[in-house]
Amino acid sequence: MFPYKVFAGTNSLPLAEKMCAKLGCELGKCTCQKFSDGEFAVWYDESVRGCYVFLVQSTFPNADNLMELMLMIDAAKRASAYKIIAVMPYFGWARQDRKDKPRVSIGAKVVADMLSVAGVDRIITMDLHADQIQGFFDIPVDHLYASTVYIPYVQSLQLHNLVIASPDVGGSKRAQTYAKHLDLPLVLCHKTRARANVVSNMSIIGDVNGKDVLIIDDMADTAGTLCKAADLMIENGATSVRAMVSHGVLSGKAVDNIMNSKITELIITDSIPFDTARCPKVKVLSIADMFAETIRRVYNNESISTQYLV
């Protein structure tokens, strides 16, 4: 077997360190030198010739972290790495997965093409905004699900009047998967947007009176939708509302929105670093063990399907 090494981009160092602790290996050494105009250069401080190189990097904030990953891929290719695998727990631009109005770009496809051209051999990611984004790649994509760490946590809450909710119709498939696995009823929210990140109107489809509600979604950006849904459910008689999202982007006024809402708890993963001291309502569950096990199985050519709970 060719040896393998794990490296991390600047923003994903804490997560990569946890992965390496699980794998029982040292995190590879690389340097990112920044110039005063914002440009930066990347190089490896150790040989990667003939190695499987796993590059851990979530793309938030988007532009800089994506560009850093591109340069890491290129540097590994030029240093004669045997295989280059991009481990992207959070895949940015995934919301731009189709033409939903005239003369608009499909950002997810552009990013997929950029990664392929840079020289990556495989992508490992989690909870894409839309599953069909996997088809934008002409290389293998291992698509993991946060349900592996979330479902045991939901069961540990021991809420006997629990219902699963989707904050919009587009996320109903994801929420339905949880509801079916846990044998729980499903509630939907129907929303209309005035513009990006701004919800103009929302209504509930289903009964939440006297229920503990768990909202399932793939990401929370400004958390406006989640907060509006939580407040509306409390107004309709819900006992409590929790939200569980795979990627805690939490940009702009997200923390203020959460603190001022009726959300009891927001559960996120560490796909994107977040300091819980910023918001006591936020709980972070680690996906490091899941990704470390996936790296091990990919390296050993083993199936990863047994990792999926739903």
| Cβ contacts of 101 within 8 Å, gap of 6 or more | none
Distance between CA atoms of residues 219 and 134, nearest Å? 18
DSSP designation for 167: S
Distance between CA atoms of residues 35 and 185, nearest Å? 54
Distance between CA atoms of residues 290 and 273, nearest Å? 17
Distance between CA atoms of residues 132 and 169, nearest Å? 17
Distance between CA atoms of residues 170 and 217, nearest Å? 10
Active site residue: 18, 191, 211, 228, which one?
191
| Cβ contacts of 133 within 8 Å, gap of 6 or more | 91, 94, 97, 108, 112
**Is 262 assigned a catalytic role?**
no
| Cβ contacts of 256 within 8 Å, gap of 6 or more | none
HSE at residue 52, side-chain half, CA atoms within 13 A, is: 16
Contact (Cβ atoms closer than 8 angstroms) between residue 122 and residue 85: yes
Distance between CA atoms of residues 34 and 43, nearest Å? 12
Contact (Cβ atoms closer than 8 angstroms) between residue 164 and residue 178: yes
**What's the length of the chain?**
310
Contact (Cβ atoms closer than 8 angstroms) between residue 247 and residue 271: yes
- Residues catalogued as catalytic: 191
